[in-house]
Chains A and B, each alone.
Chain A
Amino acid sequence: AQSVAQPEDQVNVAEGNPLTVKCTYSVSGNPYLFWYVQYPNRGLQFLLKYITGDNLVKGSYGFEAEFNKSQTSFHLKKPSALVSDSALYFCAVRDLNSGYSTLTFGKGTMLLVSP
């Protein structure tokens, strides 16, 4: 079975500082990894995805994520945080080798960026 762990319920960072939101995953085959962001009373917005290739994936709003196969991690990063980045972030995984396998989400990490 596939699973995702987001070990931090909340991450606090000051505006202008770099941020990292952690994600580790478990799949039996090759992983297909996503990050989504959710603002209050809104649906999930796609940020970026990793399928194959370069381990550093660049996405929307200046976010990037680093795939590390040996550590089974896919941490979300941004060099300089903005107050407007404050939101709930979800990591998700899908097994590339499982046909119709579902997308499994982590429980989410709340990012709070202080002015």
Chain B
Amino acid sequence: EAGVAQSPRYKIIEKRQSVAFWCNPISGHATLYWYQQILGQGPKLLIQFQNNGVVDDSQLPKDRFSAERLKGVDSTLKIQPAKLEDSAVYLCASSLADRATTDTQYFGPGTRLTVL
């Protein structure tokens, strides 16, 4: 079974530029998550989708971050404009369903963003 795919793996941009990350979850997984992992910290949830609807975006900085999950499969996360403090690894995860809160989340390899 293929895992969660993410691209690009690395991205370097200057502050105030925009950037987008892509995620393809495990086939059949209804729930998709985007996490931000700052160096030295654990992952922090940014947004959670169930199918193509947003379940939780309470920690997403909506003035600069946006995300969508068209057709309930792939997802993109965008930052516009980027700030220095956005330098982090952005992890995508998926799980089979969210109604069953015992579901395991499976993570992709992440995208390491450096903002100069």
Contact = CB atoms under 8 A, between A and B. Distances in A.
User: Interface residues of A toward B: which range?
Assistant: 20 to 34
Nearest to A96: B101
Contacts, number: 58
B107 A99 contact: no
Interface string B53-89: 0011000000000000000000000000000000000
Interface of B: 4, 6, 9, 40-45, 48, 55-56, 91, 93, 98, 101-102, 104-110, 112
17 contacts: A34-B104, A42-B110, A43-B4, A43-B6, A44-B107, A46-B106, A49-B102, A92-B42, A98-B101, A99-B101, A100-B48, A100-B55, A105-B42, A106-B42, A107-B41, A108-B40, A108-B41
